Amino acid sequence: MNGSFRRPMRSASSLATTLLLVALTAACDSAPAAKGDAPDAAVGASALMHQGPGMETLRLPHGSPAISFAVVQRVALPGELETTGQVVFDDRRVASIISRVTGRIEQVRVSQWDYVRRGQSILTLYSPDFMTAEAEYLQAKAAQSALASGGADNAQFARSMVEAARRKLELLGIAPDQIDAIKTAAPSFVMRAPISGNVIQNQALRGAAVNAGDVLYSVGTLDDVWITADIYEDDLARVQVGQSLEAVTTAYPNEVFHGLIDRISPNIDTNTHTLQLRCAVQNPGFKLKPQMLARVRITVPTGQVLIVPREALVFETDEYFAYVDAGHDRLERRKIAIGTWSREGYVRVVSGLISGDRVVAHEALQVDQLWHEAYGDNS
């Protein structure tokens, strides 16, 4: 026995008293097993033993009180993966309307949550920059007319002046049809919506001064939206871009919205071991609203996983452990990684156990106490 323990064992009398209390507790909490159905192993006066390099086992002597075991099972995975998600705008369908000049807002034509059509007038902005650019454009056109009969070089020069002046107007946000309609230089300019959608942000106030780069509106369309859903990393191998899904919301519990997985996040949350899916979902009637919660069902390939009763696991700090029957009345302590599982009372085993392993069930906490009695703080 020399060198078999990390720490000296407690006295025989102290450990025997502890084991007796554990045995009495187990006897009170469980009904007697029927004849022929008695569990295969027992907890009694235990001892720690080495079982190969780096492995210790808890030895259970014959004649000690009985404990029960559960068998690690391999079961079929369902063809659906369920999770929850949140509706958000598709950022490819959101546009920020900014001021490209320094000026002042003269008139506001739309408000928060209004629906606007592409090309619809949304506000009037006053700025001398517009008048200057329009004047340059009109002068260039006048010069083009004057130089039209002055030879090829003069005509080319005049055209380049007009194109440069027109390009400047376009950079200020003036649409081609608005440029064609310019007859006189004016300091006021009517801004239009670049896309159709709802006004989701409104920073435009009548009379407010603005600078170049200031955001005046944000417009987003709800024709198609995203649902961002979280899955555990052990389910990552079952999902891929293009898989179909269904979403149901509390607002419309009897209506199913259809979509596809559009993107899979490259990052995993180290705290929850989850990652996000970005799902493109059709939104007929604009019923799905940003920040609305949804339950998502994803059609995934079937497969097999290992499951074990939840009561067979012992949680310590941030890790799970199970006590496995090692044969010859010995128990081996193993660290277990788990995942989600829909069957109540069971957990999915990701690593640490194999199919057919027999683990201590109801008495896992009592056995864990015996292990710590032997190992102390070094376990």
Query: How much is the average pLDDT of 340-360?
Result: 87
Query: How much is the average pLDDT of 322-336?
Result: 90
- Is pLDDT of 52 > 80? no
- Is pLDDT of 152 > 90? no
Q: Tell me, rounded to whole angstroms, the distance of Cα 351 from its chain centroid.
A: 23
pLDDT at 126: 96
Write the CA distances from 71 to 39, 76, 327, 328, integer angstroms: 12, 16, 14, 17
pLDDT-based confidence at 80, cuts 50/70/90? confident
pLDDT at 318: 84
Q: How far apart are CA 113 and CA 105, in angstroms?
A: 20
Better-scored residue on pLDDT, 370 or 9: 370
Among the listed residues 190, 249, 203, the one whose alpha carbon sits nearest the alpha carbon of residue 225: 249
The mean of the pLDDT values for the chain is 82
Q: How far apart are CA 296 and CA 276, in angstroms?
A: 12
What's the pTM?
A: 0.59
- Is pLDDT of 63 > 60? no
Do the Cβ atoms of 73 and 355 come closer than 8 Å?
yes
pLDDT tens column, 229-261: 999 887 888 899 999 999 999 999 999 999 999
Q: Which residues pair with 67 in a beta bridge?
A: 41
Among the listed residues 183, 112, 99, the one whose alpha carbon sits nearest the alpha carbon of residue 141: 183
